[in-house]
A and B are shown apart, each in its own frame.
Chain A
Amino acid sequence: DGGITQSPKYLFRKEGQNVTLSCEQNLNHDAMYWYRQDPGQGLRLIYYSQIVNDFQKGDIAEGYSVSREKKESFPLTVTSAQKNPTAFYLCASSIEGRVLNRKGYTFGSGTRLTVV
């Protein structure tokens, strides 16, 4: 079955460390997204990519970086510049940047990042 896989499920980061969250999809989707979710809150867009080797900042990109070297992969690095990184991170993909089909976004199961 096709899907989108995020790893690890739980991640602990020490102050000043960079950490990378993995997101892989085998749905042949063109577009991929990273969202941050804080407890009891909605989703805020960090970065998105509509095509390989291209990505755009979302609403809260400061302190984060991404790459899109392959269609299947869209890793997110949380850098030491992100002052409050403890959150639930969700990766999603869609068949194309414009949501023309009726399936919407497909989400991974998330990575919970905690600063220790």
Chain B
Amino acid sequence: SQQGEEDPQALSIQEGENATMNCSYKTSINNLQWYRQNSGRGLVHLILIRSNEREKHSGRLRVTLDTSKKSSSLLITASRAADTASYFCATDAYNAGNMLTFGGGTRLMVKP
């Protein structure tokens, strides 16, 4: 079963614009992570936010977490064509044996 659900499923923007992806989950979590996957490749860890944190930054990435709404968002600022990839949220939930559960992903296309 999928704990995290991303929204939108697909997003197309122009280079230079900001991209926002959302993730909702169902049960209490230890932390939430975002991963990136280029087509036909493995996933790369981007950022982890703990359940007691509300916002994290890493370069052009900004992640927020609202545990009351069981949701997170990933913002990529000043997007580049090289940001074109699928982005997945993953939750480390208390009732899942502390295993990561991945959502279905958002496919982001950044047009040059």
Q: Which residues of A contact B31 (CB under 8 A)?
A: 99
Q: Which residue of B lies closest to A48 (CB)?
A: B99
List B60-80 residues whose CB lies under 8 Å from chain A.
Answer: none
A59 lies within 8 A of chain B by Cβ? yes
Q: Which of A12-20, A74-82, A103-111 contacts B (4 or more CB under 8 A)?
A: A103-111
Q: Let me know if B40 and A110 touch, CB within 8 A.
A: yes
Q: Let me know if B98 and A99 touch, CB within 8 A.
A: yes
* Band of interface residues on A: 20 to 34
User: In the complex, which of the residues B90, B100, B104 has the most CB atoms of chain A within 10 Å of its own CB atom?
Assistant: B100
Q: Which residues of B contact A45 (CB under 8 A)?
A: 99, 101
List B71-112 residues whose CB lies under 8 Å from chain A.
Answer: 88, 90, 92, 97-105, 107
Take A42-B88, A112-B40 as given contacts and tell me if A105 and B48 are in contact as well, using a CB distance cutoff of 8 Å.
Answer: no
Residues in chain B within 8 A of chain A (CB atoms): 1-2, 30-31, 33, 35, 40-45, 48, 88, 90, 92, 97-105, 107
A-B pairs with beta carbons under 8 Å apart, 25 shown: A6-B42, A41-B104, A42-B2, A42-B102, A43-B88, A43-B102, A56-B97, A58-B99, A88-B40, A90-B42, A92-B42, A92-B43, A98-B30, A98-B98, A99-B30, A99-B31, A99-B98, A103-B45, A104-B45, A104-B90, A104-B100, A106-B45, A109-B41, A109-B42, A110-B42
